[in-house]
Amino acid sequence: MTQKDSNQYLNLKGDITKEIKLLRRKQSDIMNPYRRPISSILPEERQVENTLLFDEKTDSEAYYDRFSHWEGSISTKKIRDWLNQFETNMDKNIAHLLLSKFQFFSKTDIESATRNLQEKLLDLLLTKENLWKAFRDDPKVGLKDNEAEFKKWLRNKIIRYAMLPSPSDTSVESQHRLWAIYERSALTATSSTDGKKIRPLSEYFQAGKGDHETSVFVFMDYTNGSGNQLAKCIRKINKLLEQYPAYQQSSFIFMYVVQATSFNLASIEFAPENSEIIYYKPMLGYKSQEIMDILDSHQISKSEYGDFIEKYCRLASGKSSVGYRESGALTCHHYSCPNNTLPFFHKPSTNWEPLFRNSQTPSATRYKQK
């Protein structure tokens, strides 16, 4: 073999060797996943299915601290027992996540809400040009553009705190308890003859005091969900306005501690022309974005969540409804749980013991007056 042939042979041998090594690497890449444990190529197991996301003792105590102002029976044992009714780890974890976001309004929270509502009411009225004009035209007013004097004038001469008229088939008794808190917490330093004691709307109309166009009638209650109860109250207000048409140009303000963001006063076509709603906090619902985000962070699908909701609503109430008019609220006040809250929080059955055992319905026990 000549030197040239020898060199060609060596080059060819080198190329073949490189090709074989390349093929071996490719084969290794292909086979390598199959040499790993099968668990390494399967989807990662979700913690929410296999492990509780909460500590039964510690978290039950934390929940008890939040709910201790509940006027019914509540204890750490009751909270643990309620959570243990949920059958699987997944179910228990979803219940825990909902409970961690649950809106519970203690007495202190309600007091804070009333002060906030008073501020929001005055801020709303500060935007009304017709009221500013009446204020400046009042001969007894000294400082015509002073905001503090304007607020004082509103409280003493313009605002009329009134009871929501009570329809025959629903209850608005809860407003009396709330007004008592409002008077103590929000009106202590600003009360007046008209402001301190609420009256039936008919009494204001019959008395005929003040300028009808600048009179502001203010109503208040704890919860506005679907607006059904408010619609019934407004029907009664309209009947009074038919008797006293001069007040049709007055303003009607409805204040609530919590309100469903889906509700729109304009949806009540017969609402008085100059009527508005203000509220302290939006009502949290089981499909609120805040809830869906936390479920998503734990890889809980919408279908799994939907199955959970239907299953436990049926256990508690015998049907899949998520509460009155399908509100599905996650809200409770220290004295009562609204009936538009998810049933498994408040509705008892032979198969279910609720956490808050009563609800705000027309047939419920009469509210305590304080």
CB 177 within 8 A of CB 368: yes
How many Å apart are CA 84 and CA 92, to the nearest integer?
7
- Phi/psi of residue 224, each to 5°? -125, 110
Q: Over pLDDT 70: what percentage of the chain?
A: 82
Instruction: Out of 35-39, 88-92, 159-163, 345-349, pick the least confident.
Output: 35-39
Range 167-178 burial, b when 16+ CB lie within 10 A, else e:
beeebbbbbebb
Beta-carbon count within 10 A of 300 CB: 20
Give the chain's largest Cα–Cα span. Answer: 129
How many Å apart are CA 132 and CA 147, to the nearest integer?
10
Q: pLDDT at position 363, please?
A: 42
Q: pLDDT at position 356, please?
A: 92
Q: pLDDT at position 34, please?
A: 55
Look at 361 and 210; give whichever has higher pLDDT.
Answer: 210
Single-letter amino acid code for the residue at 168: S
Whether the predicted pLDDT of 13 surpasses 80: no
Q: Which residues contact 353 (CB under 8 A, 6 or more apart)?
A: 81, 82, 85
Q: In angstroms, what CA-CA distances link 301 with 156, 172, 212, 231?
A: 55, 39, 55, 36
pTM value? Answer: 0.81
Q: pLDDT at position 217, please?
A: 96
Place of tokens 């889906």: 262
Question: What average pLDDT score do residues 343-366 get?
Answer: 76
Instruction: Out of 20-29, 44-53, 342-351, pick the least confident.
Output: 20-29
Distance of CA 355 to the CA centre of its chain: 18
Look at 237 and 4; give whichever has higher pLDDT.
Answer: 237
Q: pLDDT at position 21, please?
A: 66
Residue 220 parent element (H or E) = strand 216-224
Place of tokens 């202190």: 108
Range 228-254 burial, b when 16+ CB lie within 10 A, else e:
ebbbbbbebbeebbeebeebeebbbbb
CB 280 within 8 A of CB 116: yes
